[in-house]
Amino acid sequence: MFSSDGASNMTGENNSLWSRVKQESPHCIKMGCTCHSLALCIQKGFEKLPSSLGFMLLEIPKWFRKSSLKHESYKMLFETMNMGEERAGTPLPFMSLSATRWLVRGKVIYNILVNWMELKTYFQCASIQGSNGVWYKTRILHEMLSDDCNYLYFVFSSPIVIEFERVNSLFQSTNASPSRLLHELDTHFKAFNQRVNDQDRKLLPLEKIDFGAKFKLECKQLCRSEKALTVDRLLGVQQ
C-alpha cells in the first residue's frame, strides 16, 4: 500500500516515486494522503451538521482575535465566574479555525465547549453593553449559545473530531511504525463502524446508535430540566 499527497513527483505515472514503487511491487495499491483524507472526512461530516456550528467555530475565536481588550474582558469574566481552583488551567476560546491546519478543529470545538457557560454570559453582556455596530453579532452568538441543540451538537462532535485528529497526528509523526499506523487506522475504522452498524453492516436503528456516554448524559439532564420547567410553568398557570 502506497499513500502520499497528489504531487506529480510522488504519484505521477512516469518517473515518480509511485512509478518506481510500482515497478518493484506490481500489486501495491495507491491511496491518497491519509492525513488529508482524515481531515476531509471531518470537513465533509461538518457540512451535514447545521450551519450554526460552523458559524460559531469561525466567529467566536474571530471575535477575540485582534483585541487584547476583549481577551482581558473575557479572562476577567471567567475568573469571576470561577473563583476556586477547580477550573484553573482551562483553555480559553481564543484559538482560531484554519482549513490548512488539520489538527486544530478539535481543539477549537473543545475550547468552546468547556467555556460554554462563560461564553454565553459574555455575549449576553456584550449584546447589552456593545455599540450598534456589534450588537447584531453578539446577539446572534448569545442566542446560538443559549440553544441546547447547539450545545448537544458540540458534545456529540467533540470526541469524534478529537479521535480523528489523534489518528491524523500519528500519521504526521516522524518515526512511527508502519504496522502501528495500519493497526491504529484499522481500529479507528472498526470502532466507528460498530457505533452505527450491526454485525451485518446494516445501519442500526436510531435508538441503538452509540452517540457517546457524555452525549447521552447531557441529553438526560436537559430532558429532566425541560420537564421540571414545564411542571413549573403548569403550576404557575394553575395558581
238: confidence class by pLDDT, cuts 50, 70, 90: very low
Q: What is the pLDDT of residues 136-156, one digit of tens each?
A: 889 999 999 999 999 999 999
Q: What is the pLDDT of residues 82-105, one digit of tens each?
A: 987 788 889 999 999 887 788 899
Has residue 237 got a pLDDT over 70?
Answer: no
Between 19 and 70, the higher pLDDT residue: 70
Select, from the ranges 31-35, 133-137, 192-196, the one with the highest average predicted confidence (pLDDT): 192-196
Has residue 37 got a pLDDT over 60?
Answer: yes
HEC assignment per residue over the chain: CEECCCCHHHHCCCCCHHHHHHHHCCCCCEECCHHHHHHHHHHHHHHCCCHHHHHHHHHHHHHHHCCHHHHHHHHHHHHHHCCCCCCCCCCCCCCCCCCCCCCCHHHHHHHHHHCHHHHHHHHHHHHHHCCHHHHHHHHHHHHHHCCHHHHHHHHHHHHHHHHHHHHHHHHCCCCCCHHHHHHHHHHHHHHHHHHHECCCCCECCHHHCCCCHHHHHHHHHHHHHHHHHHHHHHHHHHC
pTM of the prediction?
0.84
Q: What is the pLDDT of residues 43-93, one digit of tens each?
A: 899 889 999 999 999 999 999 998 999 999 999 999 999 987 788 889 999
